[in-house]
Amino acid sequence: MLALSNALIAELPTGAVPATRSPPPATRRRPSGADLDRGRMTAASPRRPETIAVTAGRPTAAPGEPLNVPLVLASNFRAGTPDAPVTEYSRDGGTATWHALEAAVGALEGGIAAAFASGMGAATALLDLVPVGARVVVPTDSYSGVRALLFDGAALGRWNVDQVDITDTAATVAAVAGAGSDSSGRPADLLWLESPTNPLIDVADLTALCRAGREAGALVVVDNTFATPLGQQPLTLGADLVLHSATKFIGGHSDLLTGIAVAASRDMAARLVRRRQLAGATPGALEAFLALRGLRTLPVRLARAQESAGVLAARLLEHPAVERVRYPGLADDPGHALAAQQMNGFGAMLSFEVSGAAAADAVCRALRVVTNATSLGGVESTIERRAKLAGQEHIPPGLLRFSVGVEHVEDLWDDLSAALAAG
Ligand code: PLP
């Protein structure tokens, strides 16, 4: 079972991370967000992640309280007094609806969470933690939007970017320590990791790389979107910060955009909240509510989807039209041993290659149950030929990224095998 850090959970605040708005300086939590269940694990009452996903972020048990924190549609709140200040504006300190989502994801990750308008909103706030001129090390294979954000920033002179193959632990450790294309010999200020990666499903040795980051004095961020907070807890492996596109598995229904950043320390969480406040990268009220509702069923959705992913990966491997399958659950996948060590399950994302772009496009067109669509992590299976996107030159033209949903596995297989025959 997953090893959540009791120390980190004990450190969780009992409300939102206080906004660092200036002026006014300190604000107090509104009572509505103050008594959330934080999914604490105690020796007397340990809770497993599947239970934390269901219980954390709920109002504590008082008669007459609703079971769920309500959808708070408010930007403006009655002012407090000098003796009892409150957050008066949602962009500054959030709402009870955001706090509930943050409490639940923070409890699962073992850190302090801040919700954002989208995964990219959270990624931008994370990148704002490093100073101008920073050296950033990023995987060559990682989410294209984050890579674009990094390269745009580099073009503006905000930072220098070095790309690494994160499956090559020694080369990545060397790059973090100072070996890099900019030849500065300077250690990295930020190590950006993603595991498994989008879309090649590469697995990084998170423990070794987080250690290398710490030794170099770099902040280590792990994009945990593919693994989900149930599949992997990077903070327990040594990361400083975690990113989720909650748009994906956490929301789980392809009906919202939300991002979450989780910090190991209160100080970094407060800095992220300040970035959110000043950039206005705030989550929508309905989106935060729906993301938490999605999180409640993540354990069952993920269990079902990853079981199907294992079955489908094994069958695809045997299919004559398929040249390669990447899924860390396959015993001979290059990421298998590491994933078995650092993940709980192997996730619901896989990729496979057919003979080229035309064959891959034909498969996408022929599918009837699986949807050809760009996003992932929903109850519905989706597939996309990723090399069609800009900035994805390292991706084989015939590679299909497949997000396995919760449909019956035999219907998925019938659909896939028919489409492969047609393609
Ligand atoms: N990280 C990963 C791994 C993603 O796949 C995505 C989106 O596809 C993001 C971050 C960005 O998230 P969002 O689309 O919610 O901004």
CATH number at residue 382: 3.90.1150.10
Give the domain range for residue 393. Answer: 298-422
Give residue 340's pLDDT: 98
Task: Using the mean position of ligand 1's atoms as its centre, give its distance from the Cα of residue 146 in Å.
Answer: 8
Asked, for residue 131, whether it belongs to a domain, the answer is no
Q: Which two tokens stand for residue 80?
A: 């407090």
Structural domain includes residue 42: no
143 Cα: distance to centroid of ligand 1 (angstroms) = 7
- The confidence score (pLDDT) of residue 95 equals 97
Which pLDDT value is given to residue 37?
A: 77
Whether residue 55 is contained in a domain is answered as: no
Residue 375 lies in a domain: yes
d(CA 363, CA 379): 21
* Residue whose CB lies within 8 A of the most ligand 1 atoms, among 198, 276, 375, 392, for a mutation test: 198
Look at residue 17 in the predicted model and tell me its pLDDT: 41
CA of 305 to the centre of ligand 1 (A): 19
Contacts of residue 245, Cβ cutoff 8 Å, sequence gap at least 6 = 118, 119, 120, 122, 143, 223, 225, 259, 377
Whether residue 415 is contained in a domain is answered as: yes
In ligand 1, the atom with minimum distance to the C-alpha of 142 is 3
In angstroms, rounded to a whole number, what is the distance separating the alpha carbons of residues 334 and 343? Answer: 15
In this prediction, residue 18 carries a pLDDT of 39
In a domain, residue 341? The reply is: yes
Q: pLDDT category, 33, cuts 50, 70, 90?
A: low
Q: Tokens for 54, please give them.
A: 């269901």
* Residues 39 and 52: beta-carbon distance below 8 Å: yes
- Residue 351 in domain: yes
Q: Output b/e per residue, 100-125; b: 16+ Cβ within 10 A.
A: bbbbbbbbbbbbbbbbbbbbbbbbbb
**Ligand 1: residue whose CA is nearest its atom 7:** 245
Catalytic positions, please? 91, 143, 223, 248
Closest protein CA for atom 13 of ligand 1 = 119
Count of domains in the chain? 1
Which token pair is 266? Answer: 């209160």
CB 258 within 8 A of CB 229: no
* Residue 232 Cβ contacting ligand 1 at under 6 Å: no
Confidence of residue 393 (pLDDT cuts 50, 70, 90): confident
Does pTM surpass 0.75?
yes
Q: Of all residues in the chain, what percent carry a pLDDT higher than 70?
A: 89
Nearest CA to ligand 1 atom 8: 375
Is residue 395 situated within a structural domain? yes
Per-residue pLDDT reduced to its tens digit, 14-29:
334 434 334 333 344 4
